[in-house]
Amino acid sequence: MARILKLKPSTQEIKAHLPEKGVECEYKLIDDYGGPLLHLSTFGSRDRESHRKSSQSMQIDKEIAVDLIRILSTAFGNSVVRDVDVEEDRLVAAYRRDPQLFRTLITNDEAARDVVAMAHRRGQVEKFRQLLTDQDYFEAEASKRPNHAGEEWVWQHFFEDNPWIFGVSLAGQLLTSWSDEKLEQVVAGASISGVGKRTDALLRTSGRIRSLVFAEFKTHKKDLLGTEYRSGCWSPSPELSGGVAQVQGTVHRAVIGIGERLQDQASDGSDVPDEFTYLLRPRSYLIIGNLDSLLGAGGGHHRDKIRSFELFRRQLVEPEILTFDELLDRAEWLVTSVDAASESTTVWDSRAD
């Protein structure tokens, strides 16, 4: 395997390879600190007796790709680039003529639906990362919030669009949104749909016995720790301790107001037979801050800060505390694991052929 750092003319005597000795080449886009890389892998010719496996591979970055396009244009004429544009234009024109046909084709193709869904989730993970790491981008999104709404609105809006991030990453059980319309719900008052105390995300576990799950989120910019209370011991920040108190109060009031279980209701307000959601020591989560805030001035681990934070949250029964970067890591793991499983299936399918 090699990463190409430079392209230059060859002085070797090279002859054309015979088509019957040709090989397949697979490509994949991968992430790198400096930007995306194109990974190319060739596989042994079909007349080999061994199982299909990668024989040669190389990686190119954007700079090398630009040089390669220039070389291809010189070798085959500028029509190479124009032909690509023409094919894309044809697809765009066909979609505009009959967008419903394209949607129907994708809807009827299970694999296509999976590709579209995972492509969307990969895009949302990238947006998650950008919100977390690009302050200018976060501020631009925050500028769209309604009047009197705080910066938490950015994350509220993002998670409303992506409830799957909570559903498969917070707990061992599958979590789904309480409402198909909105994550944020009133949980203390006359009823969940009445006036009262709100929680940022109201979820419930799936299965025959379902339980409510509460989540509150602040912003990634909130401090996790306050001042050094004693040598080597850092106190939780007011935002962290206040968030914990807020979640505990919300859950407590909900349990008192609703009771042990809540009767599911149909759209017309009637009871759904034998369908209940329980509130028996309901699980709760506080999403706040970023683990980078526990690093030292030089960028290394600050052991006293890490110890203080970890001991504080490990001793809490409820809520469970997660940072935004930890939630991002979980979402990335989900998307990456699905991609890996898909790639593994493709390899086995090719072996079966």
Structure-token pair, residue 24: 């397949």
Per-residue pLDDT reduced to its tens digit, 190-235: 444 343 456 777 777 777 777 788 888 899 999 999 999 899 999 9
Structure-token pair, residue 267: 């759209």
Please indicate, yes or no, if residue 333 is contained in any of the structural domains. Answer: no
pLDDT reported for residue 83? 59
Q: In residues, how long is the chain?
A: 353
Name the band, by pLDDT with cuts 50, 70 and 90, for residue 103. Answer: low
Which residue did the predictor score with more confidence, 180 or 347?
180
Task: Report cis status (omega within 30 of 0) of the bond before 238.
Answer: no
Q: With contact defined as beta carbons under 8 Å apart, do 264 and 276 qualify?
A: yes
Please indicate, yes or no, if residue 339 is contained in any of the structural domains. Answer: no
How many domains in the chain? 2
pTM beyond cutoff 0.75 = no
Please indicate, yes or no, if residue 227 is contained in any of the structural domains. Answer: yes
Which residue did the predictor score with more confidence, 349 or 89?
89
pLDDT reported for residue 220? 93
pLDDT reported for residue 177? 58
Structure-token pair, residue 80: 């190479």
Please indicate, yes or no, if residue 32 is contained in any of the structural domains. Answer: yes
Please indicate, yes or no, if residue 307 is contained in any of the structural domains. Answer: yes
One domain, residues 68 and 185: no
Per-residue pLDDT reduced to its tens digit, 31-54: 776 678 888 888 776 555 455 566
Which domain range does residue 216 map to? Answer: 155-326
Alpha carbon separation from 277 to 70, 170, 256 (Å, rounded): 63, 19, 15
Please check the confidence at residue 89 and state whether its pLDDT lies above 90: no
One domain, residues 286 and 174: yes
Structure-token pair, residue 282: 């309901």
Which residue did the predictor score with more confidence, 210 or 294?
294
Q: Which stretch of 25-39, 67-81, 320-334 has the lowest confidence by average pLDDT?
A: 67-81
One domain, residues 163 and 65: no
Per-residue pLDDT reduced to its tens digit, 108-165: 655 555 555 677 788 888 999 999 999 999 999 988 888 878 888 899 888 888 877 8
One domain, residues 73 and 171: no
